[in-house]
Amino acid sequence: MQKLSAFFIGLLFGLGLLLSGMTDPGKVQGFLDLAGAWDPSLAFVMGGAIAVGFFAFALAKQRTRSFLGGGMYLPKATEIDRRLVLGSLTFGVGWGLAGFCPGPGLVSMASGETKGLVFVLAMLMGMAVFESLERLGAKTRTT
């Protein structure tokens, strides 16, 4: 039941991204172009997501189990550290340059867009590089 509900929630999320135009890199870059032809539509999509997330997390904090009976695993970290700042900067630069973040990139790729495929491949390569560097760092710290 959990896998089926996760599939339908993901499908709903993807459809929402398609309908809102967030799979179009030009729309995202138009939002980030404050000095040019600024497109505020992404602000409304973000506002809606923040409102839903705010109430969803408030409800989730009061529960010990999900609606389908699974455990609740909410983030516990509250500290802003170097890794968080560098990761956020990397994400923001990539988002601004490519016009995609992971969700819209995957939806764009699944709908047959070449730009989405290129983005997802680059994202996977970046993840592989990160994992390799993490392992190398862990080896260096233990020796």
Q: Decide if pLDDT at 137 tops 90.
A: no
pLDDT score, position 141: 76
Residues 6+ apart with CB under 8 A from 91: 101
pLDDT at 41 over 90: no
Give the long-range contacts of residues 25-28, CB within 8 A, separation 24 or more: 25/98, 25/99, 25/100, 25/115, 26/99, 27/99, 28/95, 28/99, 28/100, 28/104
- Tokens encoding 133: 């560097």
What is this structure's pTM? Answer: 0.73
What is the pLDDT averaged over residues 63-83?
A: 86
* Section 122-143 average pLDDT: 87
Other beta carbons within 10 angstroms of residue 39's beta carbon come to 16
Q: How many C-beta neighbours within 10 Å does residue 22 have?
A: 23
- CA distances from residue 95 to 25, 37, 74 in whole angstroms, order as listed: 9, 18, 25
